[in-house]
Structure 1
Amino acid sequence: MILSERIAAFSKLSKFLNQFTHPDYTRDESVLLNHNFFDKMTELIHAASHHNGWFTPDNVIFSLSQWSKALQKEQLTNWISAYKLEEKPPKKIGLILAGNIPLVGFHDFLSVLISGNDAIIKLSSDDTKLLPFLASYLIAVEPRFKEKISFTEEKLQSFDAIIATGSNNTARYFEHYFNKVPNIIRKNRNSVAILTGKETPEQLNALGEDIFRYFGLGCRSVSKLFVPEGYDFDTFFKATFQYNDIINGAKYANNYDYNKAVYLMSNYTLLENGFLMLKEDSSYSSPIATLFYEKYKSLEELDKKLTADQDKIQCIVSAYLDKKHIAFGQTQSPQLDDYADGVDVIEFLIKIQ
């Protein structure tokens, strides 16, 4: 396959996924092989939460919607045209994927295949259904992908490079085990938001999407607020109250109750509204149903702190205090060139000898 053929195959997957961008799925009879895949996809969306309680239909549909947009032919072409790809013998790239949010490893999967390489994939036990199903559709519309995609439950073997995503603890194992091949080893990262007190209710409402989407489990989920001294949290709570339905999820509610009990027994001071707790803390990674916050004296001092801690941070959300910051409500809608940990995967793949 040449690049244009690979792009064409993924764009067909985009059209397939476009049917599942809203809860009332819209069947498009012009979609290739719909008679084999449409009903199975609807079943999979609703079955996902039985395997992983965090994978609610709403969150799975949101993920599918984002990938439907990203995989359009124009988007793919614009993204990949920034690189000097050469058609050369493929490398075997091992992918060790996380499972914290639906299809969290799809970007690595896409990057390996769109660049002409082969993917050997070890899935997280928390997400074993979605990617294999989308891979099966991709193979059905472009059979030559069959030899380029494989899944394994065993230790990865016979690979030329590794892309592995895990925690800080597993990263140490990955770095030791894969140190003899080119690798990208991802560790824990979190996202933060900078508030100044001048944000509009609409901006703070949009921030709720960054906080609550995927129950806050993604590295692009805002887990901490930086606020000026004397910040009025009532404004924040009012603007984000519409997300209160999240407490109706049993797993989220259990975490809320458990963490609240732990905090109260430890005599921590909390601000809370019945579905979210705010705790003053210098850490970046907050537990489920909790949002840490830290006060700053000046934006200049805060900028220095965030620069020093950049290896711990995935996204910074603000009202465009910096051109690298992300607008409120946009962390869960990354572009194709928004690479995890800021490591350009395509450039990495190109340089593999």
Structure 2
Amino acid sequence: MDFNARINAFTTLGNFLSQFSNKGIIKKNNIEKNEIFFDLFSDQINMAYIHNSWFTKEQVLFACESWSTVLTKENITKWLANYNLEDVNTKTPKSVAIIMAGNIPLVGFHDFLSVLISGHKAIIKQSTSDNILLPILAKYLMEIEAEFKGKIEFTTERIPHFDAVIATGSNNTARYFEYYFKDKPSIIRKNRNSAAVLTGHETNEELLALGEDIFRYYGLGCRNVSKLFVPKDYDFDIFFKAIYAYKEIIEEKKYANNYDYNKAIFLMSLFKLIENGFLMLKKDESFSSPIATLFYEEYEDLNKLRNYLSNKKDQIQCLVGNVSVITTVRFGLTQKPQLWEYADNIDTVDFLLKIY
């Protein structure tokens, strides 16, 4: 399969996914293999929630829409323009094991895409929390491009022969991965969290958009904001007023249970909290906060904060804000990364090209 065929296959997959969004599940004309896969994937969206109740229909459809937006020929071509992929068909492809996390819907899709677009074979071991959606999309790819049939393998057992590995997990599992895969080329990802830097001059619209970075996927993603850095004596009433639009999140039973549980733990420990009925703020130096909670720290000098964050970069997935002296992602965009925005800032395609 040549380079352009791989691009066209994923572009076709993007067109297929464009039928599934929070605007509605709307069947379109002229979508390849729709007669086989439209109803099947619709059923799997419902099945994903039955299997994992964090994966509500809204959250799964958001993930589908996000991927459909980036899987265009223009985006994929732009992403790959800086790599030499034209001659990979003259080389012997490798078998790349992908060990996926399961915290948000389709969380391992970028690794899946990267391995296949670079011409390798993907051997996929999914988390049991997120093993419903990707196999159907893989079958769709194999149906529209037959040469993918020898390039995609799912396993629930010990991974068979492989030449390289991309593994995502916790800090604890990363230590196991590093030992187990020490003789293989690898990308091993650990725990990371995202933070927002506020100055007190944000508009209501910016803070409202920050709510998307906080609450999307119930805060379970590594790109979700779990920590705020605020100026000394920051007025949190302004922040709470702006994010009040997200109040209905507390109606989600699992989120509400976590809110109640974490609040009880904090209060029993006599921690001081600021809360609004669906989100708690706790002053804490950690980047990783429990569900329904944001940690925060105060700062007095942005340049000192920049240096501090630079020293903590191995714990940070992305920084949100509108601060000239600190490189940040714009408010509301953490869960809409472009194809060239790599997890942990590790260039996955470059890694995959070097293992040929």
TM category (shorter chain) comes to over 0.9
Cα distance in structure 2, aligned partners of 1:38 and 1:326: 34
Q: In 2, Cα distance between the equivalents of 1:207 and 1:167?
A: 25
Match of 2:240 in 1: 237
Could you tell me how far apart the structure 1 residues matched to 2:9 and 2:335 are? 25
| Match of residue 47 from structure 1 | 47
- Counterpart for residue 76 of structure 1: 76
- Superposed, 1:72-151 pairs within 5 Å as 72-85=72-85, 86-87=87-88, 88-151=91-154
| 1:60 pairs with 2:63 | no
CA shift for structure 1 position 89: 1.5
CA distance in 2, matches of 1:273, 1:148: 50
Indicate the percent of aligned positions where both proteins have the same amino acid: 57
Does the residue aligned with 2:18 lie in a helix, a strand or coil?
Answer: helix
Selected match of 1:337 from 325, 332, 340: 340
Other-structure match for 1:218: 221
SS for the counterpart of 1:294 is: strand
TM-superposed deviation, 1:321: 2.6
- What is the aligned counterpart of 1:246 among 245, 249, 256? 249
1:185 maps to which residue?
188
Please give the alpha-carbon distance, in whole angstroms, between the structure 2 residues aligned to 1:292 and 1:308. Answer: 18
1:8 paired residue number: 8
- The 2-side partners of 1:347 and 1:128 are apart by 27
> Does the 8 Å CA contact 1:94/1:162 hold for their aligned counterparts?
yes
- Tell me if structure 2 keeps the 8 A contact 1:320–1:327: no
Tell me the CA shift for residue 280 of structure 1: 0.3
Q: 1: distance between equivalents of 2:290 and 2:22?
A: 29
Indicate if the aligned counterparts of 1:320 and 1:326 stay in contact, CA closer than 8 A. Answer: no
Aligned counterpart, 2:230: 227
Q: Partner of 1:226: helix, strand, or coil?
A: strand
Checking the alignment, whether the CA contact within 8 Å between 2:197 and 2:323 is kept in structure 1 is: no
Q: Hey, what's the Cα distance between the residues in 2 that align with 1:247 and 1:49?
A: 18
Deviations 1:262-303 (A, max 9, x none): 001111100000000000000000000000000011101111
Q: Which amino acid aligns with 1:240?
A: I
Amino acid at match of 1:31: I
1:102-157, Cα deviation, whole Å (9 max, x unpaired): 00000000000000010000000101111101101111111110100000011112
Query: Structure 2: how far apart are the matches of 1:322 and 1:48?
Result: 42
1:20-66 Cα distance to aligned partner (Å, 9 max, x none) = 02352121121011111111111111221110011011010000011
Deviates more, 1:339-348 or 1:19-28: 19-28
Secondary structure of the residue that 1:144 maps to in structure 2?
Answer: helix
Residue 160 of structure 1 corresponds to 163
- For residues 78-115 of structure 1, give each alpha carbon's deviation from its aligned partner in whole angstroms, at most 9, with x where no partner exists: 11111112322211000000000000000000000000
Match of 1:295 in 2: 298
CA distance in 2, matches of 1:326, 1:170: 29
Residue pair 1:190, 1:315 contacting (<8 A) in 2 also: yes
Query: Match of 2:24, SS?
Result: coil
Work out whether residues 10 and 141 of structure 2, in 8 Å CA contact, stay in contact via their aligned partners in 1. yes
Scaled by the length of structure 2, the TM-score of the pair is: 0.98
Runs of at least 5 residues in structure 2 that lack an aligned partner in the other structure:
none
Contact 1:93 1:117 in 2 (8 A): yes
- The amino acid of 2:74's aligned partner reads E
Separation (CA, whole Å) in 2 of partners of 1:320 and 1:2? 43
Q: Tell me the C-alpha RMSD between the 2 structures.
A: 0.9
Quote the Cα distance in structure 2 between the aligned partners of 1:323 and 1:109.
Answer: 32
Partner SS for 2:318: strand
Q: Is the 2:116–2:151 Cα contact (8 Å) retained in structure 1?
A: yes
**1:2 aligned partner, one-letter code:** D
3-state SS of paired residue (2:7): helix
Structure 2 Cα separation of the partners of residues 320 and 63 of structure 1? 28
Distance change in 2, residues 1:299/1:322 (3 Å): closer
Please say if residues 303 and 325 of structure 2, whose CA atoms lie closer than 8 Å, have aligned partners that are also in contact: no
Preserved contact between residue 70 and residue 338 of structure 2 (Cα < 8 Å): yes
Deviations 1:185-207 (A, max 9, x none): 00000000000000000000000
Q: Which aligned segments of 4 or more residues in structure 1 are displaced greater than 4 angstroms?
A: none
Residue 322 of structure 1: how far off its partner (Å): 4.5
Structure 2 counterpart of 1:116, which letter? G
Q: Which runs of 5+ in 1 are unaligned?
A: none
How far off its partner does 1:342 sit? Answer: 0.2
Equivalent pairs counted in the alignment come to: 353
2:344 paired with 1:326? no
